Amino acid sequence: MAATNSKSLERERAKKRIEQLRKEIEHHRYLYHVLDTQEISDAANDSLKNELVQLEKQFSELITPDSPSQRIGGVALQKFEKIRHETRQWSLDDAFTREDALRWEERNRNLLSDDATKPAQFEYEIEPKIDGLHIALTYREGVLQSAATRGDGFIGENVTHSIRTIEAVPLRLDKQIDIFIEGEIFMHKDEFEKLNQRRAKSGEPLFANPRNASAGAIRQLDPSIAAQRKLDCVVYECSNASIPIPAKQSDKLQFLRELGCKVNPYVSVQRSLEGVCNAWQEWGTRRSQENYWIDGVVVKINDIELQRRVGYTGKSPRWALALKFAPEEATTVLKDVTYQVGRTGKITPVAVFEPVKVHGTIVQHASLHNFDEIQRLDIRIGDTVIIHKAGDIIPQVKQVLKGLRPPHAQAIKPPKKCPSCGAPVHKEDSDYVDYVCSNPRCRTIFLEELTYFVGKGGLDIKGLGTKIVEHFADVGLVTKRSDIFGLQKAELLELERFAEKSADNLVAAIERARRVTLRALIRSLGIPLVGDQTASLFVGYLERSQGAIRSIRELLRAMDSITLEGLLSVHGIGERVAQSIVAFFAHAANRKELQEFEHRGVRIIREQRHQKSQIFNNKTFVLTGSLERLSRAKAQHAITQRGGTVSSSVSAKTDYVVVGLGPGSKYDKARALGVKTLNEAQFLAMIN
């Protein structure tokens, strides 16, 4: 009985969720197809549809004929004349992984297994898949007769009046033939940005992406709107011609080019699926360099006779496949929020999700940063959220789908106690967004501080990993940072982890760390907001204004003369950083710890500086994408060595953006703001 009950409970829950999902999906469908606008990305929408399909699979009795899962294609708007396509307009099946692609090839191979003339290896034609609007063009005796949208695949909307305004679409072909041609209408990124800038100025709503802007332009009764938006068009398919069409897909494209149509310049022929997949992967990183949106590559069997023989499924050709880039967004449910204490005592709320795959990896957690962010998102436990994750970027909660909020969704309250030590938490001041642990002896804060102090960002003492540092703290060997410099070989040997050699190595590493440059010392202290670059600026200023600093005592004495105003005069040091530095040295416990370092034999040494000419003085750089000949760290070093600073985000104050392979949104932002961009070769030329 109990089992039946829980089953019916589960079914009841699924039913509610299915109803909510259908409503939400219908809402986005209406926005997208009828109003040509978009509130969430295609990937997020697909993620919702996928959840619906999975639930309906589990409870098939809940499927209704009007469920969005039962729909195929779009429906023509009433205001346009309808056109029946000469050739059915298929949509392509999608693949997201190499395994998907391999299965596809395997299936085609099996279909031809009885065929004596089957090839040992398929040859493929591939080209980038431009994210635009599909168009079907009919020519009679070489003259453009009509242009129609895809519609439901059989019947589309007559948009000839708009398409005529696009220069890339020939009104007359170079041969007087009848032919049916298929292609893609799209908008260039820079045109799209200009369009949105104009709309922002005049207070009109912005377009979510260039496809919406193109679709919106074409599906207007007034053709001048399409003309204003400077649309482009490439073609990729033809049929029903009054003269013979070439027998290979790649030759067909050449044939279309000779007729006067525009074909994508990156069409290529691959002799194996391996080559196809490599090109697909390569496009994944270089797609942002093109001036149009690319959401994958399309692969087709090159031999048209083979295309004919493998044929079609009910809705798509078997001989073609859209190899999509892994979606960068997915939807999932927020299950819980936990808290983490950081090195500075800051308490960070962390979202816990139902595990979901985003951009190729399973995501279960994401930082919610602070309570302002929680308020801004208006996120509650039980909410369905959109998660964004691109490239190496850590996952972020982008949006809450409030239409899917369950009635019992639970508000997220700030913690009252530190999750590590249980001490009360407080805000440092009323307009400060972060809560911090009030306990100066909080174990987690101390461990984070200590790990940072000896780690790569700090003194970089080899052999002192997180585990060992924690162990030292647990057995009471290290209760403050300066204790590191008092560690004795005999003490280490008493611990299980250490043998003769490892103890010797650690003692030697600590001995080396006693001789430290002022910059490395400042950096290792973990002063909030002060990393390596700021440490360098700060030390430079300190020595310019106070003379060379040869010991910790001299450092503390010099700090007595340093003021907030003085620090603010340094290019690259802002208000919050300056305050943080001043506050750190004003704190008696910090001064005492520094004196303790000196007492334990820490000595300041001069930096071995290869003096570079300060060609980047007062210049701010932003790096994006990966450079081939320099690591990110080396590039940063090259800039700071020459007097420049490196910032993590692009603003109007940025002087240069160095653009590597696969640049992110920083590149787009630089273009939008008109900031000068440098490719790797140009950057190398500047520093050599």
Q: Which residues are catalytic?
A: 129
In the complex with Zn ion, the residue whose CB is nearer, 83 or 418, is 418
- Contact between 437 and Zn ion by CB under 5 A: the answer reads yes
| Strand stretches in 539-684, DSSP E | 603-605, 620-624, 645-647, 656-659, 676-679
**What whole-number distance in Å separates Cα of residue 219 and Cα of residue 231?**
13
Tokens of 316: 């798509």
Query: Which region among 64-72, 179-187, 355-363, 432-440 touches Zn ion (by CB under 5 A)?
Result: 432-440
Identity of the residue, 441 or 676, whose beta carbon is nearer to Zn ion in the bound complex: 441
Interface with Zn ion by CB under 5 A: which range of 407-415, 435-443, 530-538, 669-677? 435-443
Which region, judged by CB under 5 A, interacts with Zn ion, from 157-165, 242-250, 415-423, 564-572? 415-423
The distance of Cα 435 from the centroid of its chain, to the nearest Å, equals 28
Window of 49-57, 420-428, 457-465, 546-554 that interacts with Zn ion by CB under 5 A: 420-428
Beta-bridge partner residues of 232: 186
Q: What is the nearest approach in angstroms of Zn ion to the Cβ of residue 582?
A: 25
> In this complex, which beta carbon is closest to Zn ion, that of residue 441 or of residue 462?
441
Q: How far is the CB of 454 from Zn ion (least distance, A)?
A: 21
What CA dihedral angle connects 204, 206, 211 and 215, to 10 degrees? -20
Tell me the helix, strand and coil percentages in the chain, rounded to 5: 40, 20, 40
Q: Is 421 in the site for Zn ion (CB under 5 A)?
A: yes
Give min distance, CB of 567 to Zn ion, in A: 30
Q: Which is nearer to Zn ion, 264 or 439 (CB)?
A: 439
Largest Cα span, the chain: 96
> Of the ranges 33-41, 233-241, 413-421, 561-569, which one interacts with Zn ion (CB under 5 A)?
413-421
**CB nearer Zn ion, residue 273 or residue 341:** 341
Among the listed ranges 127-135, 265-273, 418-426, 461-469, the one in contact with Zn ion (CB under 5 A) is: 418-426
Nearest distance, CB of residue 577 and Zn ion, angstroms: 25
Q: Residue 421 or residue 678: which is nearer to Zn ion going by CB? A: 421
Of 148-177, binders to Zn ion (CB under 5 A) are none
User: CA 419, 420, 426, 431: dihedral to nearest 10 degrees?
Assistant: -80
d(CA 125, CA 303): 9
Pick the closer one to Zn ion by CB: 20 or 420: 420
Q: Which stretch binds Zn ion (CB under 5 A): 117-125, 174-182, 437-445, 528-536?
A: 437-445
Give min distance, CB of 470 to Zn ion, in A.
16
Q: Segment contacting Zn ion (CB under 5 A): 207-215, 348-356, 434-442, 624-632? A: 434-442
Taking the CB of residue 455, how many other CB atoms lie within 10 A of it?
16
Whether 617 and 653 have beta carbons less than 8 Å apart is answered as no
Among 323, 330, 442, 510, binds Zn ion (CB under 5 A): 442
Question: Is 347 a residue that touches Zn ion (CB under 5 A)?
Answer: no
420 binds Zn ion (CB under 5 A): yes
CA distances from 62 to 24, 68, 420, 566 (A): 17, 13, 46, 70
Distance CA 256, CA 243 (A): 12
Provide the minimum distance between the beta carbon of 373 and Zn ion in the complex, in angstroms, as a whole number: 21
Q: Which is nearer to Zn ion, 30 or 432 (CB)?
A: 432
DSSP 590-612: HHHHHHHHHHTT-EEE-----PP
User: Could you give the C-alpha distances from 451 to 324, 469, 508, 526, in angstroms and in order?
Assistant: 42, 7, 18, 10
Report the alpha-carbon distance of residue 196 to residue 229 in Å, rounded.
11
**Which H, E and C letters describe 325-367, residue by residue?**
CCCCEEEEEEEEEEEEECCCCEEEEEEEEEEEEECCEEEEEEE
Given a contact cutoff of 8 angstroms between Cβ atoms, the answer to whether 509 and 627 are in contact is no
The residue among 423 and 672 lying less far from Zn ion, judged by its C-beta, is 423
Paired strand residues for 397: 387
Task: Confirm if 492 and 507 have CB atoms less than 8 A apart.
Answer: yes
Contact 649, 670 (CB under 8 A): no
Q: Which is nearer to Zn ion, 445 or 522 (CB)?
A: 445
Phi, then psi, of 120 in degrees rounded to 5: -70, -35
Name the residue nearer to Zn ion (CB basis): 339 or 498.
Answer: 339
Residue 418 binds to Zn ion (criterion: CB under 5 A)? yes
DSSP letter at 171 equals S
- Minimum CB distance to Zn ion smaller for 83 or for 445: 445
Q: How far is the CB of 469 from Zn ion (least distance, A)?
A: 17
CA nearest to 517, candidates 456, 605, 611: 605
Q: According to the 3-state scheme, what is the secondary structure of 227-289? A: HHCCEEEEEEEEECCCCCCCCEHHHHHHHHHHCCCCCCCCCEEECCHHHHHHHHHHHHHHHHH
Q: Are strands 179-187 and 133-140 parallel, antiparallel or unpaired?
A: antiparallel
Nearer to Zn ion, 442 or 670 (CB): 442
Q: Positive or negative, the Cα torsion across 317, 323, 327, 328?
A: negative
Residues whose CB falls within 8 Å of the CB of residue 230, separated by 6 or more in sequence, listed in order: 187, 188, 191
User: Locate tokens 């002063």: which residue?
Assistant: 527
Q: What minimum distance in Å lies between the beta carbon of 455 and Zn ion?
A: 21
**At its nearest, how many Å lie between Zn ion and the CB of residue 414?**
15
Min dist. Cβ of residue 427 to Zn ion (A): 15
Q: How many degrees, rounded to 5, is the angle at CA 150 between CA 329 and CA 144?
A: 135
Closest approach of Zn ion to the CB of residue 571, in Å = 37
Query: Closest distance between Zn ion and the C-beta of residue 437, in Å?
Result: 3
What lies within 8 Å, CB to CB, of 510 at 6+ separation is: 461, 484, 485, 487
**Could you tell me how many residues of this chain bind Zn ion (CB under 5 A)?**
7
* CA atoms in the 13 A half-sphere facing the CB of 149: 26
Piece of 81-89, 436-444, 545-553, 570-578 that binds Zn ion (CB under 5 A): 436-444
In angstroms, what is the minimal distance from the CB of 342 to Zn ion? 11
List contacts with Zn ion (CB under 5 A).
418, 420-421, 423, 437, 439, 442
